[in-house]
Homo-oligomer: A and B are copies of this chain.
Amino acid sequence: MDYKPFLDYINHYISLTEAEEALLLSKVIPRSYLKHQFIVQQGDVCKSANFIVSGCTKMFYMDADGQEHVVMFAIEDWWSSDLGSFITQSPADYNVQCLEPCEVIQFTYENLEELYAEIPKLERLFRKIVERAFVASQKRIVRNFSLSAKERYQLFRTTYPKIDQRVPQYMIASYLGITKEFLSKIKRELAKA
């Protein structure tokens, strides 16, 4: 597996010495998944923090009625884990499933705790990553309330054009909180206009 995108990503936030890079890579697990494979399963403990080197995943919640709710997609240079389950090492609320074959770099909980002790700068790295993720998540809450379904789709399409192209439409509908039928109607209207 090619570690360069991963190291580039990290060096965007903090700078590591060669020794630190080597230590980091020694405690990280490269893993490949097939399309449709689950990286995390609802009910199981999320044992790793997963960095996507290549491929595409969805994180989703299966509700009591068997309805899927897509919480987020992840592609190259994003993380895809049930963070709540990972940090508390308790059963996951969400599934993470590969929508394409995926190459993933994994931190186990124990390895990450060791790394925090050995390279304290990593606390800073993950603080910054999660800060950004939290801000984006709050922004999404507001938008879900203040924008119409059509506006939300237009925003999604311009913000994540790559994901819009790679992911089945019915999953995007779920991510936007609408039915696939209604998204189909929205796309027809947008195509006309």
With an 8 A cutoff between CB atoms, is A1 at the interface? no
Would you list which residues of chain A between 53 and 110 have a CB under 8 Å from chain B? 61, 63, 67, 69, 71-72, 83-84, 87, 93
Shortest distance in angstroms between A91's beta carbon and chain B's nearest beta carbon? Answer: 14
Q: How many copies does the complex hold?
A: 2
With an 8 A cutoff between CB atoms, is A124 at the interface? yes
How many chain A residues have a CB neighbour from B under 8 Å? 33
Contact with B along A116-137 (1 / 0, CB 8 A): 1000100110111011111101
Chain B residues lying within 8 Å of A177, measured Cβ to Cβ, are 144-145
With an 8 A cutoff between CB atoms, is A141 at the interface? yes
Shortest distance in angstroms between A135's beta carbon and chain B's nearest beta carbon? Answer: 4
The dominant DSSP class at the A interface is helix
Q: Which of B72, B131, B140 contacts A87 (CB 8 A)?
A: B131
Residues of chain A at the chain B interface (Cβ within 8 Å)? 61, 63, 67, 69, 71-72, 83-84, 87, 93, 116, 120, 123-124, 126-128, 130-135, 137-142, 144-146, 177
8 contacts between A and B (CB under 8 A): A63-B146, A83-B135, A116-B124, A130-B130, A130-B131, A130-B134, A137-B137, A144-B144
